Amino acid sequence: MTARVLVVDDVPANVKLLEARLSAEYFEVVTAADGQRALDIAERGQCDIVLLDVMMPHMDGFEVCRRLKANPKTAQLPVIMITALDTPADRVAGLEAGADDFLTKPVNDLALITRVRSLSRLKMLTDELGARAATSTQMGLEAEDASFRRPGTILLVDDRASSRERIVAGLQRDHHVSVEADPQEALFKAAEGGFDMAIVSLELTGHDGLRLCSQLRSLDRTRMLPILVLVGPGEEARLMRALDLGVNDYLQRPIDKNEMLARVRTQIRRKRFSDRLRDSVQQTIEMAITDGLTGLHNRRYFERHLDTLVEQAADRGRPLSLLILDVDHFKAINDTLGHGAGDEVLTEFSRRLRGAVRGIDLACRYGGEEFVVAMPDTDPALAYLVGERLRLKIAGEPFAVGAGVEPVKVTVSIGVAALAGPEDTPKALIERADAALYQAKRAGRNRVAAAAA
């Protein structure tokens, strides 16, 4: 999904410059020339991140940021303050207003894209967690109330004593910092777990900090650990290599304390939201919303969550498509081979279905031999192609149904429908997909049919 960036600046030349830089990296860009217009766009959910100039008439960037963070509808929206006044007081004021990060004019291209990518990924996590939590609450299953404000646990890898002391002094009021000068020992410590993030110097004496970053990304136990690297002036090439390796963010020496606090806070929040999301999906509501045979979400969860997906798509002007799948001649399998063989077919069908859709898609067992897939940010043409790929995946290889039994050839019929507009409803979307499914059945089965536009 492409992040939508709101650029807020009253100087047209500044807006055009930022718009060109972001568009070149395939971000969508919306613009506002004043604070009130920015607040309106954000409240309508038409952006994923805000680049906010400080110096504006009528309402400055600090006030806009305060209002965004005070509004429950926009409180989780990441805000990057852009200022020509590069003083600690400005950064403190931005932090107090709720800003997530800072950029100083003239804006460095690498810094711009790195910050926007990092915070847009955080926004995607918070959106998905919010949707899952909303679904759980609607179903009477309260999501666990976890605090994201508790101190973070940080592993600092730096062999310069003066640098370590300044970093620890800047972080220790809000976080617990464990210091390690040797990269190999640091890797062992990180693998033992318990850290919210790692800060790694790329200027280690006699050691390659990039190698440590690569090792952290390659180990299962540290693969998701946020990494922030420290770089000196003129180290752009090594920094680009670090970002290619999967490093999340960077700080350039000399390090500004408030900038460091902002970057650390973002990465720790991202880690905790990510952890919470996995726990929420895998544990909090798993038993109540999971089909016991296939492991997919069940119809109860699907109908609740589809309401959320339709509402989000309508509010943001995004496409949403739906597939309904029905195993062809399933009753004959049960009648001739028994219900045990039928269960084997449904289990294998679910495995193939899960392997053919994206992580953001919602695949569920709708009932019996019928399945559904809700596909955010997917137009009808692409959904049809996905349906055809699924059909071929099912028909391409017979299904094993037990020892000593000949594998069974299985096919599927699929109906495709898409959200028709902001006034469309989940019920109408399901009905159109269901009608398309029956069209596929009437046409001979083992095919995909699309609902009329």
Alpha helices in 193-337 (DSSP H): 209-218, 236-244, 257-279, 286-289, 299-316, 330-337
Q: Contact 411/352 with Cβ under 8 angstroms?
A: no
Is the pLDDT at 85 greater than 80? The verdict is no
User: Do 4-138 and 152-284 fold alike per CATH?
Assistant: yes
Q: 290-450 domain in CATH 2.40.50.100?
A: no
Token look-up 């692409």 returns 382
Q: What's the pLDDT tens digit per position in 181-233? A: 999 999 999 999 889 999 999 999 989 999 999 999 999 889 889 999 999 98
Token look-up 């200027």 returns 203
pLDDT tier at 139, thresholds 50, 70, 90? very low
Q: Would you please indicate which residues are annotated as catalytic (active-site) residues?
A: 369
If you count them, how many residues does the chain have? 453
152-284: CATH architecture: 3-Layer(aba) Sandwich (3.40)
Q: Give the pLDDT mean for 430-442.
A: 96
Q: Give the pLDDT mean for 331-346.
A: 92
Q: Is 181 exposed, middle or buried (0-12, 13-18, 19+ CB in 10 A)?
A: middle
pTM: 0.55
Q: 4-138 domain in CATH 3.40.50.2300?
A: yes
Cβ neighbours for 413, distance < 8 A, ≥ 6 positions apart: 325, 326, 328, 437, 440, 441, 445, 446, 447, 448, 449
**Do the bridges between strand 49-53 and strand 79-83 make them parallel or antiparallel, or are there none, so unpaired?**
parallel
pLDDT tier at 416, thresholds 50, 70, 90? very high
Find which of 15-29, 107-121, 269-283 is predicted with most confidence, using mean pLDDT: 15-29
Token look-up 């596909």 returns 375
Token pair belonging to 236 = 């752009």
- The domain limits of the chain are 4-138, 152-284, 290-450
Q: Please report, for residues 130, 151, 176, 309, the alpha-carbon distance to residue 169 in angstroms, rounded to integers and kept in the order given.
A: 35, 15, 11, 45
**Cα–Cα distance, 189 to 333 (Å, whole number):** 54
Residue 235 Ramachandran class (φ > 0 left, ψ -120 to 50 alpha, else beta): alpha
